[in-house]
Structure 1
Amino acid sequence: MKKLIFLWAFILASCSSGKLAKVNGVSFVSSGEEASQQHIDPVLKVSANYAAIMPFGFIRDMGSPELVFNSDHQWYGERREGVKQYIEKLHLNGVSVMVKPQIWIFRGEFTGNMKMPSEEYWKKLEASYEEYILLYAKLAEETQSDIFCIGTELKTFVNERPEFWNNLIQKVKNVYHGELTYAANWDEYAKTPFWSQLDYIGVNAYFPLCEKENPTIQTLSEGWQPWKTKLRELTQQEGKPILFTEFGYRSMDFTGKKPWLVDRNQMDVNLKAQANATQVIFDEFWHEDWFAGGFVWKWFMQHDQVGGHEDNRFTPQNKPAESVIRKQYAQVRKSSR
């Protein structure tokens, strides 16, 4: 019964003004410098009402328990002082914030497969990860950030150490009083065990949609249907709305085949495919009552220096996909904080 009440409360709040109050977000990539107004203006120009701020922690390899974070060797925007400055600058501009700490393993190895070789190493990792998460949970409370994400794509860690995660969630709740989520990978979210303790079912939405080199809107839409059904069923089961903690597509051929690819391949640039895939995700989800919105992956501070018509990577900046996002996000703005 509580699950149904929660979900209906979300739906009623979303619809009270006759419009859906969605998270129209961008994943704001950290930099080596302070965020200035010229960095925030492009975020405002696409009518984003949320930004995810991502202070990274770094691990040497898949079996290492040593997590490095808030270090003098990291970029300004990856340290506590920089995260705070970014949040405050965004808030001054009326942009809400999700604080989303996440791990980077050397050479970009997938965090979901990270596994410690012994109980001793698991304990070391847990102690370090707890310190890392609580540091930024306290900062999220201090800055009155709107959402806090307790982890990103940590499938094996979550499955192997359930007691740790249950305890961590309670410790986060003791120091942070906003809304909570976890960013589960697209192949992980259905079995994440602690959704009942959080406010959103967070999903990094890199679902495979089709194997077409140059996918059409119809093909991409058809590819979404089985995934959409499963997402709807989970939100009904858990009584919590879905939040796409990350979503986005490469501007390249076969963009719907393996949307999670982060390699530096030489696949031909395909701006239309990225724009189509972005439009389809909006068409499929942004009108759904059980869907809370999401964060585009990814948005760089130096807007004029990134993306463009020769870039095949994720950012929509200075590409047709940016216009698609601007048009969608301009339709509905989150009520002021």
Structure 2
Amino acid sequence: MKYIKLLFLSLIVLLQSCNGQEKINGVSFVASGIPVTDEHTNPVVAVHANYAAIMPFGFTQSLDNPELRHNSSRQWFGETRAGVKQYAESLQAKGIKIMVKPQIWIRNGEFTGYLKMKTEADWKTLETSYSNFILEYAEAAQEINAEILCIGTELEQFVANRPEYWSNLIIEIKKVYKGKLTYAANWDEYKRTPFWKQLDYIGIDAYFPVSDSKTPTVEECLEGWKAHKKTIKTFSDTYKKQILFTEYGYRSVDYAGKEPWVSDRSMTNVNLEAQNNTTKALFETFWKENWFAGGFIWKWFHAHNEVGGENDSQFTPQNKPVEAIIKNHFKSHK
């Protein structure tokens, strides 16, 4: 009888997992110049996160430069392969699962979605360079037993102009890495991304506009999500794949829900309530849905006690009222 009861409980857990009940409650763990310790990973545990995205970087000089530099001694430790391994092992020791999410930084912070070559020769060079970059971290992801690998972040022009390359790249990645795959499409890009059938999750960086108000209410944001949610669900149904918010979050500023992707310094009026309300509405809109896998809050820094705070106007939730909202939500939606 005891065996039957245990078998029944195991079946319930399995069915819950299959129905998407076990959410990915992730943080985007920003790279730094040093190895991480318990001091840096304990706050991730304290907020009840069960996943962390680790983000190594490749660098290029301009929007039309085909050469990517990566895993270099000139980079911060956390942006390198050795850093990925050390960060992952430190977080895994705390029971945190890992998504490896390699990203490109273009000099002066140019938007990666506009990365586009001018000649066929440069496209070929970029393809070779990007393959070297992503396959390096596919190997690293396999080595550390990462649960998810994100194969690119907001690279719309690269994807649109070279779809065959991306399809072949995914085949090559699968020879190296055996976990689940996604791609981080920008919020206005995902509907045109051509290779979702080859991946496990439909990944979206979820900076959808939801309210034009200076201090949006939760109700306004819920209303603002309705049209987006309907389209996202239809997309999930079409591909029969769960949606994963590879990034989501809001700045603690006025008009936080109007253009949530804006990260420059032009918006400086701190508005903690706007951040609270937009975040609550996103959680309420998506986390109860079986077709929604979860997501990764943007962004979480290693030195918890030195960042964020109630005078900070940037994305991080750390040491702001919204951190408690996230903590309580993660705790009750595991």
Question: In which range does the TM-score fall when normalised by the shorter chain?
Answer: over 0.9
Counterpart of 1:212, as a letter, is S
1:202 is aligned to 203
Partner deviation per Cα, 1:23-60 (whole Å, 9 max, x = no partner): 00000000000010000000000000000000011111
Counterpart of 1:320, as a letter, is P
Is 1:224 the counterpart of 2:225 in the alignment? yes
Question: What is the alpha-carbon distance in structure 2 between the residues aligned to residue 183 and residue 266 of structure 1?
Answer: 25
Question: Gapped runs of 5+ residues in structure 1?
Answer: 1-10
Question: What is the alpha-carbon distance in structure 2 between the residues aligned to residue 14 and residue 212 of structure 1?
Answer: 41
1:119 is aligned to 120
Question: What is the alpha-carbon distance in structure 2 between the residues aligned to residue 208 and residue 18 of structure 1?
Answer: 28
Partner deviation per Cα, 1:166-221 (whole Å, 9 max, x = no partner): 11000000000000000000000011110000000000000011111110011011
1:101 is aligned to 102
Question: Are 1:57 and 1:102, in contact at CA under 8 Å, matched by a contact in 2?
Answer: yes
> Shift of residue 264 of structure 1?
1.1
Partner deviation per Cα, 1:129-172 (whole Å, 9 max, x = no partner): 00000000001001100000000000010010011101100000
Comparing 324-333 with 171-180, greater Cα deviation is found at 324-333
Comparing 270-279 with 292-301, greater Cα deviation is found at 270-279
> Shift of residue 17 of structure 1?
9.6
Q: 1:78 to 1:161 in 2, by over 3 A?
A: same
Partner deviation per Cα, 1:101-156 (whole Å, 9 max, x = no partner): 01011111110011101000000100000000000000100110000000000001
Question: Are 1:14 and 1:21, in contact at CA under 8 Å, matched by a contact in 2?
Answer: no
Give SS of 1:330's match: helix
Comparing 198-207 with 257-266, greater Cα deviation is found at 257-266
1:249 is aligned to 250
Question: Are 1:14 and 1:289, in contact at CA under 8 Å, matched by a contact in 2?
Answer: no
1:90 is aligned to 91
TM-score under structure 2 length normalisation: 0.95
1:42 is aligned to 43
> Shift of residue 240 of structure 1?
0.3
Question: What is the alpha-carbon distance in structure 2 between the residues aligned to residue 182 and residue 81 of structure 1?
Answer: 23
2:7 is aligned to none
Is 1:129 the counterpart of 2:126 in the alignment? no
Question: Are 1:208 and 1:256, in contact at CA under 8 Å, matched by a contact in 2?
Answer: yes
Q: Which ranges of 4 or more aligned residues in structure 1 deviate by more than 3 Å?
A: 11-14, 16-19
Matched residues, number: 323
CA RMSD in angstroms, aligned pairs only? 1.5
1:287 is aligned to 288
Question: What is the alpha-carbon distance in structure 1 between the residues aligned to residue 150 and residue 65 of structure 2?
Answer: 23
Aligned pairs (5 A) from 1:24-103:
24-103=25-104
TM-score under structure 1 length normalisation: 0.94
1:329 is aligned to 330
Taking only the aligned residue pairs, the percentage that are identical comes to: 54
Give SS of 1:294's match: strand
2:164 is aligned to 163
Question: Are 1:102 and 1:152, in contact at CA under 8 Å, matched by a contact in 2?
Answer: yes
Give SS of 1:278's match: helix
Question: Are 2:253 and 2:267, in contact at CA under 8 Å, matched by a contact in 1?
Answer: no
